[in-house]
Structure 1
Amino acid sequence: MEEIRKLVHTTRIPVRWGDMDYYGHVNNTVYFRYCEQARVEWIEQLGFGVDPNCGSGPVVINASCTFLLPINYPATVIVKMYAGEPGRSSVMTWYELFVEGEERLYADGASKVVWMDMATNKSVPLPEGLRAFL
């Protein structure tokens, strides 16, 4: 059964020269940074901080990425972020990475985001505002 996915955020990220590796394309680890940037922008736009001193917040407990095509400098990456139905304290998110001006999918990924109490490192219920949005 396919999980319901809702497009929640799209961002544009310029590829930096330093994002590339010895092989002349964006290093695999940087794809996770692109997804992270989209996730942080989305959470902040909803009014939630990504600050370890704020009491509670989102923590990624699992992340994956399938690399379909190499991304090369210069380019601008378009990251489309999707979210699933919320659980008690978590939500699944998915990512599609494109290069601006092209329709081909360069990578796709996923991450499970859990809302955590930063003092106890234990999960807590998702904030009501986030739950209502999802």
Structure 2
Amino acid sequence: MRHIYRCPLRWSDMDAYGHVNNAIFLRYLEEARIDFLSLRGTESKQGSVVARHEIDYKRQLVHRPTPVDIELWVTQIRAASFTVSYEVKDADAIYVKAATVVVPFDFETQHPRRITDAEREFLEKYRDDAEEAVAA
């Protein structure tokens, strides 16, 4: 299964060349990831931090009033990290393919932690090994 986040484009996202600035795409990925992880519905001092981003820019995204879709899925689950892949796209165009390595983190102890059974069960629902957005 994949998660779709409808990401609004903001006027301030545009650069001097008239398209969405490449650096802004990292914020878009963050918004999609937060939306995805909020589906777990748990509040605690447990969270996650980003260990790595990989991003391939495929084409320019011009500012417009309609949102862009960010399709998100899990491609790898390890003991203490998982990889999320993304495509930022419309029906007829892919603007970005990306991947993020996410590490579960205990904010109380300030240390990385292992993925819990409940988290693994949640992530497995969105696992799709068939296609990684960015080749590792």
Say which of 77, 80, 90 aligns to 1:86. 77
Consecutive aligned runs of 4 or more in structure 1 exceeding 3 Å deviation: none
Matched, 1:98 2:92: no
- 1:33-89 alpha-carbon deviations (Å, 9 max, x no partner): 11111110111111134xxxx322111111121111110110421000010232111
Q: Percent identity?
A: 29
In 1: Cα distance, 2:41 partner to 2:116 partner:
11
TM-score between both structures, scaled by the size of structure 1: 0.83
In 2: Cα distance, 1:43 partner to 1:89 partner:
16
SS across alignment from 1:65: strand
SS across alignment from 1:85: strand
In 1: Cα distance, 2:60 partner to 2:112 partner:
36
Q: Cα RMSD (Å) of the superposition?
A: 1.5
* 2:56 corresponds to: 66
* 1:23 corresponds to: 17
Say which of 23, 43, 46 aligns to 1:56. 46
In 2: Cα distance, 1:56 partner to 1:85 partner:
20
The size of the alignment, in residue pairs, is 122
In 1: Cα distance, 2:22 partner to 2:76 partner:
28
In 1: Cα distance, 2:15 partner to 2:58 partner:
17
In 2: Cα distance, 1:71 partner to 1:128 partner:
39
* 1:124 corresponds to: 113
Structure 2 stretches lacking a partner, 5+ long:
125-136
Task: State whether residues 52 and 101 of structure 2, in contact with CA within 8 Å, keep that contact through their aligned partners in structure 1.
Answer: yes
Say which of 11, 20, 24 aligns to 2:5. 11
